[in-house]
Amino acid sequence: MPITTTRMTEQELIDACLARDRLAQRELYNRYKNAMYTLAYRVMNDTELAQDVLQEGFVKVFRNLHKFRKQSTLGAWIKTIVIRTALSKIKRMPRFEEIQEHQYGSYVDWGDHIHVDYLEKAIQSLPEGYRMVFVLIEVEGYSHKEVADLLGISVGTSKSQLFYAKKKLRQLINRVS
């Protein structure tokens, strides 16, 4: 008796997807669609563009699944494809300016509590370059090195962008709250 796709392990699902089983492909999509859509939306800051990224990204996932070498989790591999797809859709990349650490000058205090809705709105209000670095590092858990590779910037630039993103974010949260 064939097992239903919802009960399949990740490896069984991958094998079925490689055999072009459309039900298995749909199950894989269902498992990751919201996480990837949220990521696409946070990077693009636009629902329609995020939908395009999700569609294009998952087509790439299924077309390149045979290249997945299990060096990371399947989710992490799909996430990288979605981020690269999103970045390819940004027509003009923002300017990332590097600032020396000793020039930072001040600290950021997050206080006792941040309202989640305020944080969400503040992230959406960040300038594009700050938003990308903040989302990739603080929300998605990438390292500065990985972000530097993805965005084509130096590690120092990634660090300074994150610092200014946080300062800006703190100001925005204070303003909306």
- Residue located via tokens 């498992």: 31
Residue partners of 74: CB distance under 8 A and separation at least 6: 10, 14, 68
Site membership for other proteins, residue 2 (CB under 8 A)? no
Distance from C-alpha of 24 to C-alpha of 158, rounded to nearest angstrom = 38
Site membership for other proteins, residue 55 (CB under 8 A)? yes
Site membership for other proteins, residue 62 (CB under 8 A)? yes
Q: Which residue, 22 or 70, is less far from other proteins as judged by CB?
A: 22
Neighbour tally for 177: CB within 10 Å? 14
Please report how close the Cβ of residue 56 comes to other proteins at its closest, in angstroms: 8
N-term to C-term CA, the chain: 57
Site membership for other proteins, residue 145 (CB under 8 A)? no
Site membership for other proteins, residue 67 (CB under 8 A)? no
* Cα R_g (the chain), whole angstroms: 19
Site membership for other proteins, residue 20 (CB under 8 A)? yes
Give residues in contact with other proteins (CB under 8 A).
20, 22, 25-26, 29, 33-38, 41, 50-51, 54-55, 58-59, 62-63, 101, 104, 106-116, 119-120, 138-139, 159, 162-163, 166
